[in-house]
Chain A
Amino acid sequence: MTALRRLDVTEIGDVTVVRFRDRKIVEDINIQELGSEMFQLVEVDHRDKLLLNFSNVDFLSSAALGKLITLDRKMKAHGGTLKLTNIRPEIYEVFAITKLNRLFDIKDDEADALAAF
């Protein structure tokens, strides 16, 4: 696996837990890089249980949502499972307004999410 600049990746059991290094996911160039790194986990490293932990994220734009939607599509195409957790209330509201809370499996905390795989 090549070095990642936007993500911190750890393994807990058979689940790959991904944390974001950026508190604000807004810059287009960073979002492109973030997308590439997430897609690499699925398409190159073949991680099939992916948990995205947003505890470090204060803000994200709709462009970042787009990368998550594409990641979800890639995960499903590879037969994998994607879950999201630790999303702060304002960002959860973004998911709820756009009804992406129905597309993604979102858990309150990491322990709940890990138990649900």
Chain B
Amino acid sequence: MLTMSEQQSLWRCDRVISSDAAACRQVLNDVVEQLEARHWVQRDVFSIHLAIEEALSNAIQHGNHFDTAKHIRVSCCLYPHRVRIEIADEGGGFNPEALPDPTCDEQVHQPTGRGVMLMKAFMSRVEYNAAGNCVVLEKERAQAE
């Protein structure tokens, strides 16, 4: 089996965008458009959409603290059977292992704190760098029904 670096990517984007919703929306829409054009199943598209949405929201809010002078770096590689997205912000990072479980009795009524859990649930792989300011999201393509 070929590794991802050995596979030919079908589509690639590398962008540095400002920390605002409109810029993020454009990247997100472009990725979703590529997946839909290649007939990825709806659940995969939903999963990837959700994970990117949550990662970008975290980058704007918790990473760059809504400072539009700070940037977010987004890299996306689409392969025949997998997509890989890397999202990095200019913040000091965080320890994802230290996040409280949002499903426990003490947290389930809290209005925030579910983004990382949803990313992990809907993607095949979610990994942060050591600093905690860069996340890699990967999704294996489901077989069409």
Residues of A near any B CB (own CB < 8 A)? 26-29, 59, 61-63, 65-67, 69-70, 73, 90, 94, 97-100, 102-103
Residues of B near any A CB (own CB < 8 A)? 21, 25, 42-43, 46-47, 49-50, 53-54, 57, 102-103, 108-112, 114-115, 117-118, 121
**Residues of B close to A103: CB separation below 8 A:** 108-109
A97's nearest neighbour on chain B, judged by CB, is B121
**Residues of B close to A26: CB separation below 8 A:** 53
**Residues of B close to A69: CB separation below 8 A:** 109-111
Q: How far is the CA of A99 from the CA of B113 in the complex (A)?
A: 13
**Residues of A close to B49: CB separation below 8 A:** 59
**Residues of A close to B57: CB separation below 8 A:** 28, 61-63
- 21 contacting pairs across A/B (C-beta < 8 A): A28-B57, A59-B49, A61-B54, A62-B57, A62-B115, A63-B57, A63-B112, A66-B112, A67-B111, A69-B110, A69-B111, A90-B47, A94-B118, A97-B117, A97-B118, A97-B121, A98-B103, A98-B114, A98-B117, A100-B108, A103-B108
